Amino acid sequence: MTPRRVLQSIILMLAGWALMFAAPAGAQGFPTRPIRLIVPLAPGGATDIQARLLAKVLSEQFGQPVIVENRPGASGMIGAEAVAKSPPDGYTILFTTAALAINATLAKSTIKFDPVKDLAPVVWVSATPLVLIVNPKVAANTPQELVALARNKPGGLNAGLTVSGSTSHLAAEMFKQIGSISFANVPYKGGAPAMLALLGGEVDFVFAEALLALPQIKAGKVRALAVTTAKAAPAFPDLPTMNAMLSGFVADNWFAMFAAAGTPREVVATLNRAVKTALDLKEVQSLFDKDAMTAVGSTPEELGAHLKSEIDRYAEVIRKGNITAQ
């Protein structure tokens, strides 16, 4: 082989190595421009508040703006679809809730993307329990007593649902199925109206968001019986879990970030590390403590597995309860 051909071979080999070890296009130096953080709900709620604090912290870390964009509608599916169909470069991120897992089944005939195939898990950010609370006039001080009351009066109790198709709704349906009881469901257009109905005695119990339940519990206006997390919730250390009484009863709300499927692993890893760093900051921990949330900070793989298991869990409840989208 001539010296010239030897040199050409070496150049080709080095070029091949460079391609092999180079970061995918768009991953180098990420981020180099603003990031959009899509919140698929209206401004002002717990999801939006959490997203805006994280956006502020991430902007400071990256030296690039992280801009929260609210895309409400279709129980969060409009915003989720926007991310699923965005360029897979990490510059459009979804910050969503457990509703994503519910609507994978409940809205399957109408959504135009697959939550598992079309979204890349980034990080499971936080979780918060639902709290089983009853009107003080209800003669039940424990979940077991509420079950007994429901069995003694089939159909005689009323459950307030924060929104049809929400985690509150699915938790109530789980209660029926796992507890082998019956009661009437009364849907409301949000957690606040459902809470007012409970305080006014229109309904007997609600699986309420922790943030809404906590002030009423402290004021003695409602009685708390249990939380819906798999394990004891730090914000409610004295309350048992529904899971301890009715095995498999887990219906907490969780918050997580996703990118479009195909986003480079290096970009996902960068976002994951940044969020985990943010979760250790005092200002983030203070918000979580105030709003009865627990930081999680998972790996992308853990979030992916969690999403799949949640889809399966809720799909079974929806099927057994013959629940349809409203």
Domains of the chain with CATH codes = 35-128+252-321 (3.40.190.150), 132-245 (3.40.190.10)
- pLDDT score recorded for residue 106: 92
3: which 2 tokens? 């010296």
- pLDDT score recorded for residue 213: 94
Tell me if 139 sits within 8 A of 173, measured CB to CB. Answer: no
22: which 2 tokens? 């180079």
Instruction: Quote the CA–CA distance of 35 and 49 in Å, as a whole number.
Output: 17
- pLDDT score recorded for residue 12: 44
- pLDDT score recorded for residue 190: 87
- pLDDT score recorded for residue 16: 44
Q: What is the mean pLDDT of each run of 10 residues along the chain (326 residues)?
A: 48 42 57 97 89 97 97 92 97 97 93 96 96 97 95 91 89 96 92 94 95 94 96 92 94 96 98 97 94 94 97 96 85
- pLDDT score recorded for residue 91: 98
- pLDDT score recorded for residue 84: 97
Q: pTM score, two decimals?
A: 0.87
- pLDDT score recorded for residue 28: 66
- pLDDT score recorded for residue 19: 36
What long-range pairs does 112-116 form, CB within 8 A, spacing at least 24?
112/81, 113/80, 113/81, 113/84, 113/85, 114/84, 115/80, 115/84, 115/307, 115/311, 116/304, 116/307, 116/308, 116/311
Phi, psi values for residue 180, rounded to 5°: 55, 50
